[in-house]
């Protein structure tokens, strides 16, 4: 699992371990990867690799196969944001950094893992996207367009892999409750000089179910795609957002 050493990725890794899977956590920092793996137990391997580095991902895939025998599942959860700015003020370096991690990183992970799945004629790939890949968002053209690009990659890869019984899907979370989102809410309240709970209230009011998505909600969707219920699902982008994109 890329991006599995912290945040939502770590929560998803924990859910897979609890379901009985052996999981390799891939992150940029070796110490963080090892600590995360140790916290999840003996069926977990912590590996250091940058998703923008093809050779590093190839090495991580090889180490995972050496440890577990095969890679049956690939979860791509690594991703970064981009500076908020209108598109005409966006910096080319920011564009490259965002796309190198969010788009190229997924392609390189697929390249490192999927050939063995194709040869074995079995495997499931799940990419973590986002609801910004379903709408335009002022000030977030770089980040949002990277999520749009992922949708195209997933659907095309699903067609490429289908003859070999390998599925490729995406989960697109809305605002996931966690430290990152709560920090953004605090910063927004401070910036606007409003009560601390105002951003949360405003955000949940924009959702049909009037609440935030939890990490466990994304994990449940992942387990469904990887379990018997996902056997005939491929090329899909499953939105889990409390009813924001309707």
Question: Annotated active-site positions, please?
Answer: 143
User: Can you tell me the distance from the alpha carbon of 139 to that of 87, in angstroms, rounded to the nearest whole number?
Assistant: 7
Q: What phi and psi, each to the nearest 5 degrees, are found at residue 189?
A: -65, -45
Residue whose token pair is 């405003």: 202
Of 74, 75, 28, 78, residue with least CA distance to 48? 28
Of 149, 23, 17, 29, residue with least CA distance to 75? 23
Burial of 126 (0-12, 13-18, 19+ CB in 10 A): buried
Report how far apart, in Å, the C-alpha atoms of 129 and of each of 164, 206, 232, 239 are: 24, 20, 20, 9
Of 100, 115, 5, 129, residue with least CA distance to 65? 115
DSSP type of residue 212: P
């Amino acid at each position: 699992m890329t991006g599995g050493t912290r945040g939502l990725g770590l929560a998803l890794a924990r859910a897979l371990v609890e379901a009985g899977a052996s999981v390799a956590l891939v992150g940029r920092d070796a110490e963080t990867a090892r600590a995360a793996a140790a916290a999840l137990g003996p069926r977990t391997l912590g590996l250091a690799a940058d998703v923008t580095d093809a050779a590093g991902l190839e090495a991580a895939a090889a180490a995972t196969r050496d440890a577990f025998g095969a890679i049956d599942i690939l979860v791509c959860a690594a991703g970064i944001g981009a500076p908020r700015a209108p598109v005409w003020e966006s910096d080319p370096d920011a564009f490259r950094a965002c796309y190198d991690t969010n788009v190229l990183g997924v392609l390189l992970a697929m390249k490192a893992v999927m050939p063995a799945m194709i040869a074995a004629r079995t495997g499931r790939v799940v990419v973590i996207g986002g609801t910004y890949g379903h709408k335009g968002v002022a000030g977030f053209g770089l980040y949002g367009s990277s999520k749009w690009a992922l949708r195209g990659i997933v659907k095309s890869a699903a067609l490429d892999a289908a003859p070999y019984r390998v599925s490729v899907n995406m989960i697109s979370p809305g605002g996931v409750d966690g430290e990152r989102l709560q920090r953004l809410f605090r910063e927004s309240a401070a910036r606007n000089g409003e009560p601390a709970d105002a951003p949360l209230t405003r955000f949940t009011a924009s959702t049909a179910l009037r609440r935030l998505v939890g990490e466990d909600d994304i994990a449940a969707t992942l387990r469904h795609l990887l379990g018997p219920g996902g056997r005939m699902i491929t090329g899909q982008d499953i939105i889990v957002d409390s009813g924001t994109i309707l």
